Amino acid sequence: MESTEAIKTVNTMLGTNKIQGLLTTKPFSEYKGSFNIWLTEKEKSTTETPDRKETKITAGRCPQADKTITISDKKFRSYCYFSGDCYLSIATKPQEYWGRLLLHEFGHGFGGLADEYVEPELGNKPRIPNCAPDESTAKEWWGNDAELYAGCSYVDDNYRPTKSSIMKSYLTQTIYGDINEQYLTKIIQSYENTTSGTGEYGLVQEYLLSK
């Protein structure tokens, strides 16, 4: 992407008056001032999907960044490493969905959130805070009065706290849901008065103790 086009793409994904994006959606919309966003570009890649090693070299131009999001106009299935770097393909969906694509994947990369849909061939990967392996664990995490919905982290046997959210389908949903928003908020707040986050493990312990 050329510089002008790249800037427009990033601004679209952050959110506009007409298109939902990262900074127009709770909880990120309530902490806009907590985020610094840098853009650096890489020459056209010859690989079909982004090369992680090359991406990290390019991202090194922004040494203060805590998270890296690679945006590509090549076709591949977008993905993020849990609490790590993200790789988004904007070639697979219309522009109106780019912001919600970022919201879904950044839920993984920033918050470590699990997918809330079922796709058995991907395995069984329940994880805190939004996909419990059984009902008793779900109640331990979210309280005895929490509503439980079957199916997340790719299998029907796991339980999620939302009927449907951005982590289930960014094409049809516009919110994260209460549990996910609470957890994302804790992570955002963990950056206050620090140069980086406190780490997912510490947040998990704090989250459990506060329930």
pLDDT digit of tens for each residue in the chain (211 aa)? 558 899 999 999 999 989 999 999 999 999 999 999 999 988 777 788 899 998 989 999 998 899 999 999 999 999 999 999 999 999 999 999 999 999 999 999 999 999 999 999 999 999 999 999 999 999 999 999 999 999 999 999 999 999 999 999 999 999 999 999 999 999 999 987 565 554 554 555 555 545 5
- Nearest to 150, CA basis, from 132, 175, 137: 132
The tokens for 119 are: 């796709």
CA–CA separation, 184 and 178 (whole Å): 10
The radius of gyration computed from the CA coordinates of the chain, to the nearest angstrom, equals 17
- Nearest to 26, CA basis, from 197, 206, 192, 180: 180
Token pair 């427009």 is found at 8
CA–CA–CA angle 121, 51, 118 (5° rounding): 20
